[in-house]
Chain A
C-alpha cells in the first residue's frame, strides 16, 4: 500500500492482528477458550477442566496481553477506567475470575457440597461468562469499524468460547477425567449448530452495516482472508466436527481418535474465527468522495 492510501481506500486495522498484534489475537482466543472451558467444567463439575481453564486465562490470556502492551510494567493502570472502557472492565472481570475461581476450586477440593462452594461457583460462573463476553464488547464499541460494530459479536464470542470449552472437556474425559462424554457431545452438537447459524447471521447482517461493513464481508468471503474463513472456520471449525458429532450421535459412539481429531479441528476453527474477524476489521476511507 502506498503512503496515505489508507485515507482514500478501505483499510484494515493492523494493530491487533499484524506483527505484535498477533499476541492480541492469541489472547482473545485464550480468553474465550479459558472462560468457556471453565463454564462447561462447572456444568460437569470437573475440577481438572476448571483448573485448566483457570490456567489458560492466567498464563495464556494474561501472558499474551502483557506481552502485547507497549509498557507492560504499567499493566495495573488498565483497571482505572471501568466507567467508559471495556478493556478496563475486562481486566476487572479477569482479576475477579482468577480470585473467585481459585477460592472455588479450593472449596470444591477440600469442602465439596458446602453452601460456600455453591456461592463461589455462582460468582465464578458469572465472572467466567463476563470474561467470555467482554472481548466482543471491546470490539463492538469501535464504530469506526462497522464490521465489528454488531450486537451479535459478543454473543458469537460467548458461544464460540463455550463450544471450544466443550471440545476440551471431551478431551479431558477421553484421557480419564470424570466427564459424561455423551452429554458433552450432545451439548457440543447443539452449540456447533447454533454457532454456525450465528456466524451466518452475523456475516449477513454485516452487509447492512454500511459500505465498509459490506466490504469487510466481501474481503472475508472472497478476498485474501477467504481461505481462513472457508477452510479454518467453515470446514475445520464447523463441518468436520459436525459430521463427526452427527455420525457419533446416530452410530452410538465415535472412536476416541476421531473425537480427538474433531476437537483439534474445532480448536483450529476457534483460532480461525477470531483471526478472520480481527483481520476483516475495515475502516471507511477518511476522505469523502466528490467533495469538490
Chain B
C-alpha cells in the first residue's frame, strides 16, 4: 500500500518562501489563503541567536480528525493517504477547521477579494478560477498536489523522483529541503531520511500520525 508523505529538512530551509509562492501559483489560491506557510522566528539572545525556519502544511494525517468530524463526507482520506476536500460536498460548517490541531485549514469566506483591489481580476486569476474552481463558503487546504501526483502516475512517472509527478513546493525548493515519497516503502528516500535522521512529526501526542516529517540534523 502506498502512503504519500513529505520530509522537510529544517537545517536546509533558508526561509525563501518559494514553496509558499509555488503553492499559491500552482493552485491559483485567492488572497489571504495559504496552503503552505513558512514560520520564521528567532530564539535566544545576542550573540547566541538562532534563526528558525519552519515550513508547515496539511499533515495528511493517518488518523485525520478533520475527516472524522466532517458531517457531510466532504473531507476524505484516499487510499494513498492524501486527505482531500470535495468542494461540492462541503457545507462550510468549519468543524474541520476547529478539529485540526495543526490549524492548517482555512475557510474561504470572500470570493470577491482581488489581489489588486478595485482593479478587477487579472487574466491569470480568471484562468485560475476556471482551472481550480475553489468555492467561497467552503474550507480549503493543501492537497499534496494530488492532481500532479495522479497525472504523473497515469503517465507512469514516480512521485518524488519525477518532477511532473511531485508537489509544486517540493520541486520549487531551491535548496532541496523538501522530499516527497512513499512512507510505506522502506527503500524510498523519505523513509530512509526519517530512519537515518530521526524524523519527527508535529504534536505526535494527538495520535493523528501525520504524513509530514521534519528532520533537523
Q: Are B137 and A144 in contact (CB under 8 A)?
A: no
| B16 CB–A CB distance under 8 Å | no
Which B residues are in CB contact (< 8 Å) with A247?
none
By the criterion CB–CB under 8 Å, are B202 and A16 in contact?
no
CA distance A144 to B95 in the complex (A): 12
**A143 part of interface (Cβ distance < 8 Å):** yes
Q: Which one, A11, A15, A281, contacts B107 given CB within 8 A?
A: A15
* Nearest Cβ on chain B to A205's Cβ, whole angstroms: 18
B residues less than 8 Å from A144 (CB atoms) = 65, 98-103, 206
Q: Please report which residues of chain B, range 126-179, place their CB below 8 angstroms from some CB of chain A when the two chains form the complex.
A: 135-139
Q: Helix, strand, loop or mixed for chain A's interface?
A: loop
Does B1 sit at the interface, judged by CB under 8 A? no
Between A144, A145, A290, the greatest number of chain B beta carbons within 10 A of the residue's beta carbon is seen for A144
Q: In the assembled complex, which residues on chain A have CB atoms less than 8 Å from the CB atom of B67?
A: 84
Report yes or no: A7 in contact with B39, Cβ–Cβ below 8 A. yes
Residue A141 at the chain B interface, CB threshold 8 Å: yes
A85-B52 in contact (CB<8A): no
Q: Known contacts A16-B98, A85-B71, A144-B99; is A77 also within 8 Å of B89 by CB? A: yes
Q: Which of B42-99 contact A (CB under 8 A)?
A: 43, 50, 52, 54, 56, 65, 67-74, 89-95, 97-99
CA distance in complex: A219, B74 (Å): 34
- Indicate the size class of the contact surface on chain B: 35 or more
Number of A interface residues, CB 8 Å? Answer: 41
B72: chain A residues within 8 A (beta carbon): 74, 77-78, 80-81
Q: Is A175 an interface residue (CB 8 A)?
A: no
Interface residue B203 (Cβ < 8 Å from any Cβ of A): yes
Report the nearest B residue to A287, measured CB to CB.
Answer: B54
Shortest beta-carbon distance from A145 to chain B in Å: 7
CB neighbours (8 Å) of B71 from chain A are 77-81, 85, 87-88, 91
Contact B99 A141 (CB under 8 A): yes
Residues from chain B with a CB closer than 8 A to the CB of A74 are 72, 89-91
Given contact pairs A144-B101, A284-B203, enumerate 16 new A-B contacts (beta carbons under 8 Å).
A13-B98, A70-B91, A70-B138, A71-B90, A78-B91, A79-B71, A81-B71, A85-B68, A87-B71, A142-B99, A144-B99, A144-B102, A283-B103, A287-B52, A287-B54, A292-B52
- Please name the 9 residue pairs, one residue from A and one from B, whose CB atoms are nearest each other, closest first: A70-B92, A144-B101, A70-B137, A77-B72, A87-B71, A88-B71, A85-B71, A84-B68, A78-B71
Give chain A's interface residues, CB within 8 Å of chain B.
Answer: 4, 6-8, 11, 13, 15-16, 68-72, 74-75, 77-81, 84-88, 91, 138, 141-145, 281, 283-284, 286-288, 290-292
Q: List 10 A-B contacts (CB under 8 A).
A: A7-B103, A15-B97, A70-B107, A70-B136, A71-B135, A77-B72, A77-B73, A79-B71, A85-B68, A287-B39
